[in-house]
């Protein structure tokens, strides 16, 4: 019974357990499937979120190495434009007034054997500082106006003339021959100049006057100055002793103490004075152009030398940011000139005289003649401009400069260009210009408004201000030829010169740094070590290693030119696509400006048809010297010149004088060597090479058939 009962139960148990298991398993499968379906349905939207957005996909779709991983060496901008070292401070407010004390200025005949008298009792034929009664030359007024223009500044007056201080003299008194301040102290007339001193010049007798050679009164003024006012207070006594010695030697006729003309005839008072300028101060230098001798010659090696350019360059006038104001005055003159440029006359030139009634021998009028005087104003641009503006106001308000002077009835004539010129009354006039080193801004990548553009490329400015031009390859992966253009807004011109873009010759495109693909190797540990050992940068992409290293641009970039277009400076660079390599190029556009690349704006009174400049040729000098020698030879014994030659060699005549043709009178009424001096000043101003363009930019060349791979993590 129990077995029978047990069998069904056993059967039931044997068959029931798998059935239950199967049922459970089916239910589990059903629940699992149901759960999966539910999970799939509910996670559809969530799964969508797991997909990267389309915006980021473009950055990921590139092939080839990711060149964004490369980095050029850090760029250091080491070309900051150096600011000219201009000395500033209270000392600069002082003015040095250099007065030309050559004999031509004072109408003094330096030839002692001359037959012609220097002055009369009532009058003083003192050149620019003549006097007849209360009548004085315009020069004295101009000097006063120089003081007015200086304003509150302390004006130190220095006298420079044909006297010299030999090195032996200075050395014997323990003075430093190379110290320009000693030279300036020894030529100082007054450290606190007053207008009365100029009147004093006019009131003096011709002998031992301010303009006489070796004047004891004016040569040795050191001891009369306060020691503190001098640059070398401790050297007052030796300087005074040396000057006393100088005066004695000049009086004794020692030629060593008188300026010799030099090998090329270049030595003159102005050239000597310029070498001793104090460039920390505003220097106002009066110059009689007739005393300026040769302006150019040759050095010991036979190389051409422009003396005034050389002096200014040596002083570093323009390198320090200083400028030269060039002034030309038409003044009245009455006196004698025994030299004119390089010509030394046996008989002095007579230019201007007192006109007397021939019958009664009484004063009729003052036959002053026009002569030109130059003035150099050397200092900072702002200081020079301010001084010239103040001087202009002073001259305009000076009533003494507004009348007409000269022979009223055509009494005085001279010959010019083979024709007789009858002098008419003339007025005071003046011109000025400023010659400054042309200041062109240096255009860099940091210049406001600088723009870089390229065909088929994107341009981005990096944190260091350097633009990165990312070139885009063509559909076939090749790089097409294209053009990169850099534009700068042009700044205004200054310094009296304009930049001639067509003459730019220093333009160049330099490759500063590169990081270019050099080779491709299989991506293995050995090759990774090899590339690292060679100092290259390796980029791994799939099973390849791409080695990058500094290389040559290989003519991929060529500067086509720098032009001026619509107020912009345009630099155009041609890019040869075939020569490009994947990687980075750091390029620098550079262009320098030298004097040759500046066109100086013509100044009518210097360069134009209305120029007041005159040049002197050796032939003219020979002719004049021969003629004056003939006068000395044939008329010295007659105690007087023929009437024809009594003033300025008289009117034009065809008649020969002892078989000599009477030449044109030397052009003392013009500014001799003005154009040459201006040219040398301009040349000195534009000697320095200034950077015009220093623009750095980088070019990125992607791997062929790739886009720039920049991760968007």
Partner 1 sequence: MPKTAAVSPKTHNRTKVLLCYILCWGIALLLPYLGLKTLYPYKLAGTAPTLSPQITALLPAAAGETAALSVGTDPAALQNALSVRDQQWRMVVGAAVAAAWLASLVWQLLWRARYVHPRQAARAALRARRSYRWSMLGIGAVNLLAATALYLVGISRIADRGLWDYLLYFGGFLLVPVAAALCSRLAAPPAISGRHAYFRRL
CB of 47 to partner 1, least distance (A): 7
CB of 282 to partner 1, least distance (A): 51
Could you say which of 12, 298, 422, 712 contacts partner 1 (CB under 8 A)? 712
CA-CA distance, 710 to 58, in Å (whole number)?
9
Could you say which of 358, 463, 476, 654 contacts partner 1 (CB under 8 A)? 463
Could you say which of 9, 12, 21, 254 contacts partner 1 (CB under 8 A)? 21
Tell me, letter by letter, the H, E, C secondary structure of 312-354: HHHHCCCCCCEEEEEEEEEEEEEEEEEEECCEEEEEEEEECEE
User: Does 56 participate in binding partner 1 (rule CB under 8 A)?
Assistant: yes
Q: What is the DSSP string of 389-406?
A: HHHHHHHHT-GGGSSEES
Q: Which stretch binds partner 1 (CB under 8 A): 69-77, 221-229, 250-258, 623-631?
A: 69-77
CB atoms within 10 A of CB 484: 26
User: Does 41 participate in binding partner 1 (rule CB under 8 A)?
Assistant: no
| Closer CB to partner 1, 53 or 361, in the complex | 53
CB of 488 to partner 1, least distance (A): 23
| Closer CB to partner 1, 75 or 541, in the complex | 541
| Closer CB to partner 1, 13 or 253, in the complex | 13
Q: Which stretch binds partner 1 (CB under 8 A): 95-103, 533-541, 632-640, 678-686?
A: 533-541
User: Does 53 participate in binding partner 1 (rule CB under 8 A)?
Assistant: yes
Nearest to 695 by CA among 449, 433, 351, 504: 449
Structure tokens, 218 = 């004016």
User: Does 468 participate in binding partner 1 (rule CB under 8 A)?
Assistant: yes
CB 156 within 8 A of CB 193: yes
54: helix, coil or strand? helix
User: Does 361 participate in binding partner 1 (rule CB under 8 A)?
Assistant: no
| Closer CB to partner 1, 65 or 161, in the complex | 65
| Closer CB to partner 1, 73 or 253, in the complex | 73
User: Does 45 participate in binding partner 1 (rule CB under 8 A)?
Assistant: no
Stretch 478-507 residues interacting with partner 1 (CB under 8 A): none
| Closer CB to partner 1, 22 or 519, in the complex | 22
User: Does 526 participate in binding partner 1 (rule CB under 8 A)?
Assistant: no
CB of 80 to partner 1, least distance (A): 24
Complete edge-to-edge strand list for the sheet that includes strand 135-136 = 123-124, 131-132, 135-136
Could you say which of 305, 530, 540, 549 contacts partner 1 (CB under 8 A)? 540
583: helix, coil or strand? strand
Could you say which of 460, 483, 502, 646 contacts partner 1 (CB under 8 A)? 460
DSSP H or E run through 627:
helix 618-635
Q: Which residues contact 285 (CB under 8 A, 6 or more apart)?
A: 98, 100, 270, 273, 274, 375, 376, 377, 378
Which x/- pattern over 301-340 shows residues binding partner 1 (rule: CB under 8 A)?
----------------------------------------
The structure tokens 């002053």 sit at 368
CB of 36 to partner 1, least distance (A): 9
Complete edge-to-edge strand list for the sheet that includes strand 188-190 = 188-190, 155-160, 95-100, 282-287, 369-380, 322-333, 429-436
Could you say which of 71, 80, 178, 475 contacts partner 1 (CB under 8 A)? 71
CB of 530 to partner 1, least distance (A): 14
What's the chain's Rg over C-alpha atoms? 44
Could you say which of 9, 12, 42, 57 contacts partner 1 (CB under 8 A)? 57
Which x/- pattern over 377-396 shows residues binding partner 1 (rule: CB under 8 A)?
--------------------
533: helix, coil or strand? helix
Give the end-to-end CA distance of the chain in Å, rounded to a whole number.
80
| 244-273 residues labelled b (16+ CB within 10 A) or e (exposed) | ebbbebbeeeeeebbbeeeebbbbbbbbbb
| Closer CB to partner 1, 33 or 207, in the complex | 33
Could you say which of 9, 12, 42, 63 contacts partner 1 (CB under 8 A)? 63
Q: How many residues bind partner 1 (CB under 8 A)?
A: 44
Could you say which of 5, 359, 360, 542 contacts partner 1 (CB under 8 A)? 542
Q: Which stretch binds partner 1 (CB under 8 A): 56-64, 292-300, 476-484, 651-659?
A: 56-64
| Closer CB to partner 1, 49 or 448, in the complex | 49
CA-CA distance, 302 to 378, in Å (whole number)?
31
CA-CA distance, 468 to 513, in Å (whole number)?
13
79: helix, coil or strand? coil
Q: Which stretch binds partner 1 (CB under 8 A): 13-21, 137-145, 477-485, 506-514?
A: 13-21
CA-CA distance, 139 to 142, in Å (whole number)?
5
User: Does 82 participate in binding partner 1 (rule CB under 8 A)?
Assistant: no
Could you say which of 9, 12, 61, 397 contacts partner 1 (CB under 8 A)? 61
User: Does 60 participate in binding partner 1 (rule CB under 8 A)?
Assistant: yes
User: Does 513 participate in binding partner 1 (rule CB under 8 A)?
Assistant: no
CA-CA distance, 493 to 487, in Å (whole number)?
18
| Closer CB to partner 1, 17 or 224, in the complex | 17
CA-CA distance, 43 to 693, in Å (whole number)?
62
DSSP H or E run through 156:
strand 155-160
Nearest to 392 by CA among 327, 484, 344, 474: 327
143: helix, coil or strand? helix
CA-CA distance, 8 to 699, in Å (whole number)?
93
User: Does 59 participate in binding partner 1 (rule CB under 8 A)?
Assistant: yes
User: Does 541 participate in binding partner 1 (rule CB under 8 A)?
Assistant: yes
User: Does 524 participate in binding partner 1 (rule CB under 8 A)?
Assistant: yes
CB of 56 to partner 1, least distance (A): 5
User: Does 609 participate in binding partner 1 (rule CB under 8 A)?
Assistant: no
CB atoms within 10 A of CB 33: 10
**690-701 and 443-444 beta bridge pairing:** parallel
Stretch 171-190 residues interacting with partner 1 (CB under 8 A): none
Q: What is the DSSP string of 628-661?
A: HHHHHHHHTTTTS--GGGTTTT-S---S-BTTBP
User: Does 47 participate in binding partner 1 (rule CB under 8 A)?
Assistant: yes
Structure tokens, 385 = 């401009």
CB of 49 to partner 1, least distance (A): 5
DSSP H or E run through 55:
helix 54-57
User: Does 708 participate in binding partner 1 (rule CB under 8 A)?
Assistant: yes
Q: Which stretch binds partner 1 (CB under 8 A): 22-30, 294-302, 327-335, 627-635?
A: 22-30
CB 169 within 8 A of CB 123: no
User: Does 68 participate in binding partner 1 (rule CB under 8 A)?
Assistant: yes
User: Does 17 participate in binding partner 1 (rule CB under 8 A)?
Assistant: yes
Sites of contact with partner 1 (CB under 8 A): 14-15, 17-18, 21-22, 25, 28, 47, 49-53, 56-57, 59-63, 65-66, 68-71, 460, 462-463, 468, 523-525, 539-543, 708, 710-713
């Amino acid at each position: 019974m129990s077995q029978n009962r047990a069998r069904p139960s056993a059967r039931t148990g044997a068959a029931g357990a798998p059935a239950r298991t199967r049922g459970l398993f089916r239910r589990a499968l059903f629940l699992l499937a149901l759960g999966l379906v539910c999970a799939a349905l509910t996670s559809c939207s969530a799964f969508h979120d797991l997909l990267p957005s389309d915006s980021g996909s473009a950055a990921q779709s590139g092939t080839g190495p990711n060149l964004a991983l490369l980095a050029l060496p850090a760029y250091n901008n080491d070309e900051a434009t150096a600011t000219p070292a201009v000395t500033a401070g209270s000392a600069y407010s002082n003015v040095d007034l250099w007065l030309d004390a050559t004999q031509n200025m004072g109408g003094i005949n330096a030839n002692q054997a001359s037959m012609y008298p220097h002055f009369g009792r009532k009058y003083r034929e003192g050149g620019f500082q003549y006097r007849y009664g209360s009548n004085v030359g315009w020069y004295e007024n101009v000097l006063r106006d120089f003081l007015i223009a200086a304003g509150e500044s302390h004006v130190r007056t220095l006298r420079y003339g044909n006297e010299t201080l030999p090195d032996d003299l200075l050395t014997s008194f323990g003075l430093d021959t190379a110290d320009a301040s000693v030279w300036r102290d020894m030529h100082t007339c007054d450290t606190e100049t007053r207008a009365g001193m100029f009147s004093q010049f006019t009131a003096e007798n011709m002998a031992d006057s301010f303009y006489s050679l070796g004047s004891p009164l004016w040569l040795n003024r050191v001891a009369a100055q306060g020691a503190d006012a001098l640059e070398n207070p401790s050297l007052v006594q030796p300087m005074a002793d040396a000057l006393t010695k100088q005066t004695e030697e000049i009086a004794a006729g020692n030629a060593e103490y008188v300026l010799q003309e030099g090998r090329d005839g270049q030595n003159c008072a102005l050239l000597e004075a310029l070498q001793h300028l104090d460039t920390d101060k505003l220097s106002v230098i009066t110059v009689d152009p007739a005393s300026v001798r040769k302006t150019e010659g040759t050095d010991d090696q036979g190389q051409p030398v422009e003396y005034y350019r050389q002096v200014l360059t040596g002083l570093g006038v323009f390198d320090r940011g200083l400028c030269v104001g060039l002034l030309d005055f038409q003044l009245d003159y009455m006196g004698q000139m025994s030299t004119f440029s390089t010509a030394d006359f046996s008989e002095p030139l007579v230019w201007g005289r007192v006109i007397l009634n021939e019958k009664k021998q009484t004063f009729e009028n003052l036959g002053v003649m026009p002569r030109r005087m130059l003035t150099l104003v050397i200092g900072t641009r702002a200081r020079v401009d301010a001084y010239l503006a103040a001087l202009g106001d002073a001259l305009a308000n000076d009533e003494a400069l507004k009348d007409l002077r000269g022979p009223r009835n055509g009494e005085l004539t001279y010959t010019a260009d083979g024709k007789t010129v009858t002098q008419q009354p003339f007025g005071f006039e003046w011109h000025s210009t400023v010659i400054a080193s042309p200041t062109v801004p240096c255009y860099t990548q940091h210049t406001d408004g600088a723009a870089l553009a390229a065909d088929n490329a994107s341009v981005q400015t990096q944190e260091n201000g350097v633009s990165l031009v990312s070139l885009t390859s063509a559909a076939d992966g090749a790089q097409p030829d294209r053009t990169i253009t850099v534009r700068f807004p042009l700044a205004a011109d200054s310094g009296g010169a304009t930049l001639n873009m067509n003459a730019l010759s220093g333009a160049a495109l330099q490759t500063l740094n590169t990081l270019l693909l050099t080779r491709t190797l299989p991506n293995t540990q050995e090759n990774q070590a090899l590339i690292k050992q060679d100092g290259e940068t390796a980029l791994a992409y799939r099973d390849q290693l791409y080695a990058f290293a500094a290389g040559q641009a290989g003519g991929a970039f060529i500067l086509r030119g720098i032009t001026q277009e619509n107020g912009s400076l345009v630099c155009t660079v041609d890019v040869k696509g075939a020569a490009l390599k994947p990687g980075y190029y750091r390029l620098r556009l550079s262009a320098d400006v030298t004097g040759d690349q500046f066109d100086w704006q013509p100044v009518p009174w210097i360069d134009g048809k209305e120029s007041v400049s005159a040049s002197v040729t050796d032939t003219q000098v020979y002719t004049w010297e021969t003629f004056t020698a003939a006068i000395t030879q044939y008329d010295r014994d007659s105690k007087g010149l023929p009437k024809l030659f009594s003033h300025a060699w008289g009117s034009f005549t065809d008649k020969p004088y002892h078989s000599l043709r009477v030449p044109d009178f030397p052009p003392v009424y013009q500014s001799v060597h003005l154009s040459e001096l201006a040219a040398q000043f301009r040349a000195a101003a534009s000697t320095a090479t200034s950077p015009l363009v220093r623009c750095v930019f980088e070019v990125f060349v992607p791997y062929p058939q790739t886009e720039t791979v920049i991760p968007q993590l």
